[in-house]
Amino acid sequence: MDVLEVAAMHGLGVVQYADNLPLHHLEESELDALADVAREKGIALELGTQSFDTTEVRRYIDIGKRIGAGILRVALDAPDAKRPVSDLAADLQDLLPALKATGLRLAIENHFNFPSRRIVELLDHVDDEQVGVCLDVANSICAGEWPMETVEILAPYTINLHLKDYVIEPDPYGVGFSIHGTPLGTGRTDIDAVLDAIDRRDMSVIYEHWLQWPGSFAEAKEAERDWTEQSARRLKAAIR
């Protein structure tokens, strides 16, 4: 409920609950209350889960139907990357009737250990408009891709966008470097280029951040408040 309040305060129209706030832990009455408050505030709901498990995805399809979600995001991880694409595609095709019956579109997120071209191969196997990409602009650095390379590969399949910003900083002792998050518009993400590269008709843009742990929950909450306020302004300016 607090997340809905923050979204409403900043005039944002969509909230995507993913594995950091797993909705399957809520009772049905709590899900109904969440959906009711979202409708009152004019906020659309989306949901997501981590790793591809058909039992879990079916559970989230049911939750999506209950709360009236339009997008179910699934992040494919290291265990999924070890499975043959044909096996993943067969599992996805088995889920298509349930997805279509509830009006949910499944958005596969490019994650750390699943290269973008393999996602394209998977989508070509499935070959159905009910399944597309949740494009994250920074995740695939871990998979050896620079962000605009990832955008170029996945843009034609994108039905959901995770927009975050990041910086690359040298180690203070000169031994390598680190990549970490920063408020939107203050790092290396070329926001305008990303938005220009995708067809944003009938899709949502989700603001996300990689906030480093500042040492306490109180400090984290304060930092998230500041980052979200700054980033929401930058995002709304970009998508006008």
| Neighbour-count burial for 113-125, b at 16+ CB within 10 Å, e otherwise | ebbbebbeebbeb
Q: What is the pLDDT of residue 160?
A: 97
Q: What is the pLDDT of residue 143?
A: 86
Task: Give me the residue label for tokens 């305060």.
Answer: 9
Token representation of residue 49: 């889960």
For the chain, domain boundaries = 2-239
Q: Is the dihedral of CA 159, 139, 166, 215 positive or negative?
A: positive
| 126-142 average pLDDT score | 94
pTM of the model: 0.93
Dist. CA 111–CA 93, nearest whole Å: 21
HEC sequence for 147-212: HHHHHHHHHHHEEEEEECEEEEEECCCCCCEEEEEECCCCCCCCHHHHHHHCCCCCCEEEECCCCC
Answer yes or no: is pLDDT of 83 > 90.
no
Of the listed ranges 30-39, 80-89, 94-103, 163-172, the least confidently predicted one is: 80-89
pLDDT tens for 165-183 read: 999 999 889 899 999 999 9
Largest CA distance in the chain: 56
Q: How many CB atoms lie within 10 A of CB 134?
A: 32
* Main-chain dihedrals φ then ψ at residue 178, nearest 5 degrees: -130, 155
Q: What is the pLDDT of residue 165?
A: 97
Task: Give me the residue label for tokens 């500041």.
Answer: 226
Q: What is the edge-to-edge ordering of all strands in the sheet holding 204-207? A: 14-17, 44-50, 71-75, 105-109, 131-136, 158-163, 204-207
Q: Residue 148: CB partners within 8 Å, gap ≥ 6?
A: 190, 193, 194, 197
Of the listed ranges 23-27, 78-82, 146-150, 184-188, the least confidently predicted one is: 78-82
CATH superfamily entry for domain 2-239: Divalent-metal-dependent TIM barrel enzymes (3.20.20.150)
- For the chain, what is the mean pLDDT? 94
Bridge partners (DSSP) of residue 30 are: none
Q: What is the pLDDT of residue 146?
A: 93
Radius of gyration, alpha carbons of the chain: 18
pLDDT tens for 19-76 read: 889 999 999 999 999 999 999 999 999 999 987 889 999 999 999 999 999 999 998 8
Contact of 43 with 13, CB cutoff 8 Å = yes
